[in-house]
Structure 1
Amino acid sequence: MAGVEQTMWIELLGEVKAQAGDHEIVLGPPRQRAVLAILALRANQTVSRAQLIDGVWGDAAPASVEGSVHTYIHGLRRALSIADDVVLTRSGAGYQLAVGEHELDVSVVESQLSDARELARAGRGSAAADLIGRCLALWRGNPLSGLPGPFAESERVRLSELRYQLVEERAELMLACGRHRELISELCEAVEAAPFREGLRAQLMLALYRSGRRADALTEFEAARRVLADELGLDPGPALTDLHLRILRSEPELDTPTETPARTRSPVPAQLPHEAPDFIGRTEELDQLEQWCSTTRASGKALVISAIDGAGGIGKTTLAVRFARTVLENYPDGQLYLDLRGFDPNRAPLSTSDALGHLLWALGSARRRSEPDALASMYRTLLSDKRVLILLDNAVSTEQVRDLLPGTSNSLVLVTSRNRLSGLVARDGARRLTLGLLTEAEALELLRNTIGGQRVDDEVTYAAELVRLCGYLPLALRVAAEKISGDPDTSLRELVENLHAVQDRLDNLHVDDDEMTSVRSVISWSYTTLDTESARAFRLLGLVRAPRIDVHAAAALIDRPLTETSEILHALSEQHLLEPDANRYGFHDLIKVYAGEMAEIGETAEMRRRASRELMVWYLHAMRAALLRLIKDYPLPALRIPPSAHSLPEFETRESALTWYEYETKNIVALIEHAAELGEHELVWQLAWCTYNSFYSTGLMSEWIQLLTIALASTEKLPNPGARARILMFLGIGNSRLGRNDLAVAHLKRGLAAVREIDNSHLHSSMLANLASTLREMKRYEEGIAYALEAVELTTHESSHYQKAGCIDSLCELYVESGRPEQALPYAEIGLRAARACDAVLLEANMMVNVAHAYRDMGDSSKAMHEYEATLELCRRLGDRYHEALALLGTAELHRRANRYPPARKFALLALDIFVELDGEEADVARELLSSLDAEAAS
Structure 2
Amino acid sequence: MEGAFGAALKKRREARGLTLRELSALVSYSAGWLSRIQAGKAMPTAALARACDEALETSGELVALARTELDGVPRPEQLPMTTTGFTGREAALAALDGTLRRARAAGAPLAVAVDGSPGVGKTALVVHWARSIAGRFPDGTLFADLRGHSDREPADPRLVLGAFLAALGAEGFPESVEDRAGLFRTVVAQRSLLIVLDNARDLRQIESLLPGAASCGLIVTSRRRLTGLSVVTGAERVSLEPMTPAESAGLLRAVVGERRMAAEPDSARALAERCAHLPLALRLAAEQLATHPHRPLAQTVEELAEAPLSALADHDRSPLAVRRAFDLSYDGLGPETAGMFRLLAMAPGARISGAMMAAVSGYSRARTRRLLDELVALHLLQETGPDLYWTHDLLREYAAEQAEAHQLPGEVRAAADRLTSWYLHTADAANAALAPYRWVPSLGSPPAGVEPLVFAGPGAAAAAARWLDGLGRQDLVAVVELAEAHRLPAAWQVCVRMWNWLLLRKPWDIWIASHLAGLRAATAYGNRDDKAWVSVNLGDAYRQRGDFALARRHTTNALELRQRAGDTLGEAWAYASLGLTAADQDDPDAYHHFADALIRFREAKDAHGEAVALCNGAAAAGRLGRNAECDDGFRESLAIFRALGDLYGEGMLWDRRAALALHRGDPEQAAGYLQVAVTRHRDGGNLWPEADTLHRYADLLTRTDRHEEAAAARQRAGDLFRDLGDPRAHTLLPEAGRRGAVPEGR
Match of 2:573 in 1: 766
**1:608 aligns to 2:412 (yes or no):** yes
Letter aligned with residue 324 of structure 1? A
Q: Distance in 1 between matches of 2:416 and 2:245?
A: 42
Q: Secondary structure at the match of 2:389?
A: strand
Q: TM-score, normalised by structure 1?
A: 0.63
Asked which structure has the greater CA Rg, the reply is 1
Match of 1:674 in 2: 482
Q: 1:860 to 1:462 in 2, by over 3 A?
A: closer
Structure 1, 402-411 or 618-627: larger mean CA deviation: 402-411
**1:591 aligns to 2:395 (yes or no):** yes
Q: 1:269 to 1:565 in 2, by over 3 A?
A: farther
Q: Distance in 2 between matches of 1:514 and 1:466?
A: 23
Deviation of the 1:481 alpha carbon:
1.6
Match of 2:349 in 1: 546
**1:342 aligns to 2:145 (yes or no):** no
Q: 1:794 to 1:580 in 2, by over 3 A?
A: same
Q: Secondary structure at the match of 2:209?
A: coil
* Residues 149 and 316, structure 2, Cα contact 8 Å, conserved in 1: no
Q: 1:383 to 1:690 in 2, by over 3 A?
A: farther
Q: Deviations over 1:862-908 (max 9, x none)?
A: 86565355345556776623212333545677x6xxxxxx56x9989
Match of 2:654 in 1: 848
Deviation of the 1:689 alpha carbon:
3.1
**1:440 aligns to 2:248 (yes or no):** no
Q: Which of 269, 273, 277 is the matching residue for 1:468?
A: 273
Q: Deviations over 1:103-155 (max 9, x none)?
A: xxxxxxxxxxxxxxxxxx999xxxxxxxxxxxxxxxxxxxxxxxxxxxxxxxx
Match of 1:455 in 2: 260
* Residues 536 and 574, structure 2, Cα contact 8 Å, conserved in 1: yes
Q: Distance in 1 between matches of 2:171 and 2:625?
A: 30
Q: TM-score, normalised by structure 2?
A: 0.77
Letter aligned with residue 882 of structure 1? D
Q: Secondary structure at the match of 1:281?
A: coil
* Residues 548 and 667, structure 1, Cα contact 8 Å, conserved in 2: no
Match of 2:88 in 1: 281
Q: Secondary structure at the match of 2:363?
A: coil
Within-5 A mapping of 1:712-751: 712-718=519-525, 720-751=527-558
Q: 1:581 to 1:389 in 2, by over 3 A?
A: farther
* Residues 849 and 883, structure 1, Cα contact 8 Å, conserved in 2: yes
Match of 2:218 in 1: 413
Number of corresponding residues: 660
Q: 1:733 to 1:800 in 2, by over 3 A?
A: same
Deviation of the 1:743 alpha carbon:
2.6
Q: Secondary structure at the match of 2:230?
A: helix
Match of 2:232 in 1: 427
Q: Distance in 1 between matches of 2:680 and 2:505?
A: 23
Q: Distance in 2 between matches of 1:773 and 1:542?
A: 42
Structure 1, 855-864 or 605-614: larger mean CA deviation: 855-864
Within-5 A mapping of 1:106-255: none
* Residues 357 and 700, structure 1, Cα contact 8 Å, conserved in 2: no
Q: Which of 178, 186, 197 is the matching residue for 1:373?
A: 178
* Residues 393 and 417, structure 1, Cα contact 8 Å, conserved in 2: yes
Q: Which of 633, 644, 647 is the matching residue for 2:437?
A: 633
Within-5 A mapping of 1:696-845: 701=508, 704-718=511-525, 720-758=527-565, 760-781=567-588, 783-796=589-602, 799-800=605-606, 802-816=608-622, 823-838=629-644, 840-845=646-651
Letter aligned with residue 272 of structure 1? L
**1:526 aligns to 2:334 (yes or no):** no
Q: Distance in 2 between matches of 1:635 and 1:298?
A: 66
Letter aligned with residue 305 of structure 1? A
Where relative contact order (Cα < 8 A, 6+ residues apart) is larger, the structure is 2
Q: Secondary structure at the match of 1:608?
A: helix
Q: 1:392 to 1:630 in 2, by over 3 A?
A: farther
Q: Distance in 2 between matches of 1:712 and 1:607?
A: 26
Q: Secondary structure at the match of 1:403?
A: helix
Match of 2:202 in 1: 397
**1:351 aligns to 2:156 (yes or no):** yes
Deviation of the 1:565 alpha carbon:
2.4
Deviation of the 1:726 alpha carbon:
1.1
Letter aligned with residue 477 of structure 2? V
Letter aligned with residue 521 of structure 1? R
Q: Distance in 2 between matches of 1:582 and 1:455?
A: 33
Letter aligned with residue 571 of structure 2? H
Q: Deviations over 1:318-369 (max 9, x none)?
A: 1222223334445554443322221122x32222212212223334545352
Q: Which consecutive unaligned segments of at least 5 residues does structure 1 have? A: 1-120, 124-171, 174-259, 896-901, 928-936
* Residues 512 and 538, structure 2, Cα contact 8 Å, conserved in 1: yes
Deviation of the 1:699 alpha carbon:
5.7
Q: Distance in 2 between matches of 1:857 and 1:268?
A: 39
Match of 1:619 in 2: 423
Q: Secondary structure at the match of 1:393?
A: strand
* Residues 392 and 414, structure 1, Cα contact 8 Å, conserved in 2: yes
* Residues 619 and 657, structure 2, Cα contact 8 Å, conserved in 1: no
Deviation of the 1:750 alpha carbon:
0.8
Q: 1:458 to 1:912 in 2, by over 3 A?
A: closer
Deviation of the 1:794 alpha carbon:
1.9
Q: Deviations over 1:797-831 (max 9, x none)?
A: 98455433433343344345556555433222233
Q: 1:811 to 1:421 in 2, by over 3 A?
A: farther
Q: Distance in 2 between matches of 1:378 and 1:693?
A: 32
* Residues 421 and 450, structure 2, Cα contact 8 Å, conserved in 1: no
Q: 1:587 to 1:875 in 2, by over 3 A?
A: closer
Match of 2:7 in 1: none
**1:657 aligns to 2:467 (yes or no):** no
Q: Distance in 1 between matches of 2:481 and 2:634?
A: 41
Q: Secondary structure at the match of 1:757?
A: helix
Q: Secondary structure at the match of 1:764?
A: helix
Q: Distance in 1 between matches of 2:315 and 2:181?
A: 37
Percent identity (aligned): 27
* Residues 544 and 612, structure 1, Cα contact 8 Å, conserved in 2: no
Q: Secondary structure at the match of 1:394?
A: strand
Q: Secondary structure at the match of 2:411?
A: helix
Q: Which of 683, 695, 706 is the matching residue for 1:885?
A: 695
* Residues 622 and 649, structure 1, Cα contact 8 Å, conserved in 2: yes
Q: Distance in 1 between matches of 2:131 and 2:480?
A: 35
Q: 1:572 to 1:913 in 2, by over 3 A?
A: closer
Q: 1:332 to 1:659 in 2, by over 3 A?
A: farther
Q: Which of 449, 473, 481 is the matching residue for 1:645?
A: 449
Deviation of the 1:791 alpha carbon:
1.1
Q: Secondary structure at the match of 1:542?
A: helix
Q: Distance in 2 between matches of 1:390 and 1:717?
A: 41
Q: Which of 576, 579, 582 is the matching residue for 2:379?
A: 576
Q: Which consecutive unaligned segments of at least 5 residues does structure 2 have? A: 1-25, 29-45, 48-66, 736-744
* Residues 556 and 644, structure 1, Cα contact 8 Å, conserved in 2: no
Deviation of the 1:774 alpha carbon:
1.5
Q: Distance in 2 between matches of 1:800 and 1:601?
A: 52
